[in-house]
Amino acid sequence: MKEANIPAPATTGGDNIFIGTLDKLISWARSTSPWYFQFGLACCAIEMMATAASRHDLERIGMMPRSSPRQADVMIVSGTVTLKMATRIERLYDQMAEPKYVISMGSCATSGGPYWQHGYHVLKGVDQIVPVDVYIPGCPPRPESLLEGLLKLQEKIRNEKPLSGKK
Amino acid sequence: MTAAEIKSLISGKFAGIIREDGEDPNPFIVIDSGRWATLARWMKAEKKLLLDSLHCVTGYDPGAEQALEVRYNLFSMTHRHWLEIRIAVDREEPQVPSVEKIWRTADWQEREIYDMYGIRFIGHRDLRRILLEDDWEGWPLRKDYVTPRTYRGMTVPKDKR
Ligand code: SF4
């Protein structure tokens, strides 16, 4: 082994050294790359797509869509949760790896929206089946609102302490 | 062809089949379900009618204790005339002959009517629910439908009392 040839970290220049608790480092890394699960349920999904597209550009805050629940950290429930879909959402949520977060986007996902009274087939709040981290009001929420909600989620993740276990 | 000509052509071939007729706003005839499949096959093939396009199939519940209804909106691409067929269906045992083999577009439309009103289309090759889950109970678009309190352990109504 030619270990002697590898320069010690201190000699590479102060700029590249970070000092902090591992807790902070991990939650900083997580909060700046929460990949979201790419699936849309109803009209709100159009707004989510607009948020991901070039004008608002989700990738500039580190979020990119993943088509598999195994690779996703965040589930954006974007739209009406019918009872038929609710069964699937529950399963998809179970397939996501920890740590995982859920965003309830729009009034449908939050409380049934326009279907709150006569929607015999609509679940009145996705929080009945999965734990929700951030609720975003609106029908549909504008991309700005979704961005605000996602930044709130990043803030929440940044304040977590994954190693010491405190939330 | 005018509506009157179409109707006389039909009653000439199938005596006594038209129980009622009118315009609402397109010409319609009310018939029994018994000879529907034969009439349908003939109307599509008959040179003077050529009703080859089935635009829409509709289920209809007029409310309390009345018979359900199925309506077919037919159009001829060649002759550019319209005809609406109405068939009353018993509420307790709703059955109509399927025309899915005659106009292929009736396939999913009949399945949707079955899904929403519970009307059975006899002879349909794949009569399953199309929108709701297979284990759903009841027929949601019937006037006497009662929204379930729970479905697979999930509370359905908004007020969770
Ligand atoms: S909240 Fe409004 S925009 Fe969003 S899915 Fe429901 S009806 Fe559509």
CA distance B136 to chain A (A): 10
Domain definitions of chain B by residue range: 3-155
pLDDT tens-digit readout, A82-99: 999 999 999 999 999 988
- Given A83, A116, A129, which is nearest B158 (Cβ)? A116
| DSSP code string of A77-146 | EES--BHHHHHHHHHHHHHSPSS-EEEEEHHHHHH-GGGTTT-TTB-S-GGGTS--SEEE-SSSPPHHHH
CATH code, residues B3-155: 3.30.460.80
Dihedral angle sign, alpha carbons of residues A48, A52, A53, A58 = positive
State which ligand 1 atom lies nearest to the alpha carbon of A139.
2
Please report which helix (H) or strand (E) contains residue B26, including its range. none
- Confidence class for position B6, pLDDT limits 50, 70, 90: very high
B55, B75 Cβ separation under 8 angstroms? yes
- Asked if A86 reaches chain B (Cβ–Cβ under 8 Å), the answer is yes
Task: Evaluate: CB of A129 within 6 angstroms of ligand 1.
Answer: no
Q: Best of A77, A118, A139, A145 to mutate for ligand 1, by most ligand atoms within 8 A of CB?
A: A139
pLDDT tens-digit readout, B23-75: 988 899 999 999 999 999 999 999 999 999 999 999 999 988 899 999 999 99
Task: Name the average pLDDT for chain B.
Answer: 92
Per-residue confidence (pLDDT) for residue B161, from 0 to 100: 53
Per-residue confidence (pLDDT) for residue A167, from 0 to 100: 54
- Asked if A128 reaches chain B (Cβ–Cβ under 8 Å), the answer is yes
- Confidence class for position B160, pLDDT limits 50, 70, 90: low
pLDDT of A1 above 70 = no
Task: Name the average pLDDT for chain A.
Answer: 87
Nearest to B133, CA basis, from A120, A84, A89, A86? A84
Neighbours of A13 (CB within 10 A): 8
Longest Cα separation, chain B: 63
Residue ranges of the alpha helices (H) in B14-105? 36-45
Distance CA A112, CA A45 (A): 15
Per-residue confidence (pLDDT) for residue A14, from 0 to 100: 59
Tokens of A164: 């010491």
Task: Evaluate: CB of A136 within 6 angstroms of ligand 1.
Answer: no
pLDDT of A6 above 60 = no
Per-residue confidence (pLDDT) for residue A20, from 0 to 100: 74
Amino acid, single-letter form, for residue A157: I
Distance CA A90, CA B116 (A): 26
pLDDT of A165 above 90 = no
Contact A129 B154 (CB under 8 A): yes
pTM for the complete prediction? 0.82
Distance CA B122, CA B17 (A): 20
Q: In angstroms, what CA-CA distances link A10 with A6, A7, A22?
A: 11, 8, 19
Please report which helix (H) or strand (E) contains residue A149, including its range. helix A143-158
pLDDT tens-digit readout, B107-124: 999 999 999 999 999 999
Q: Is the peptide bond before A34 cis (omega within 30 degrees of 0)?
A: no
Q: In angstroms, what CA-CA distances link A27 with A106, A116, A164, A166?
A: 27, 37, 12, 12
Per-residue confidence (pLDDT) for residue A129, from 0 to 100: 93
Contact A112 B158 (CB under 8 A): yes
Distance CA A64, CA A36 (A): 6
Q: Which of residues 132-151 of B touch A (CB under 8 A)?
A: 132-133, 140, 145, 147-148, 151
Distance CA B77, CA A102 (A): 52
- Asked if A127 reaches chain B (Cβ–Cβ under 8 Å), the answer is no
Per-residue confidence (pLDDT) for residue A24, from 0 to 100: 86
- Given B133, B152, B156, which is nearest A120 (Cβ)? B156
- Given B132, B145, B155, which is nearest A128 (Cβ)? B155
Residues of A in contact with B131 (CB under 8 A): 84
- Given B133, B140, B158, which is nearest A124 (Cβ)? B158
Distance CA B31, CA B39 (A): 10
- Confidence class for position A166, pLDDT limits 50, 70, 90: low
Q: Best of A39, A41, A43 to mutate for ligand 1, by most ligand atoms within 8 A of CB?
A: A43
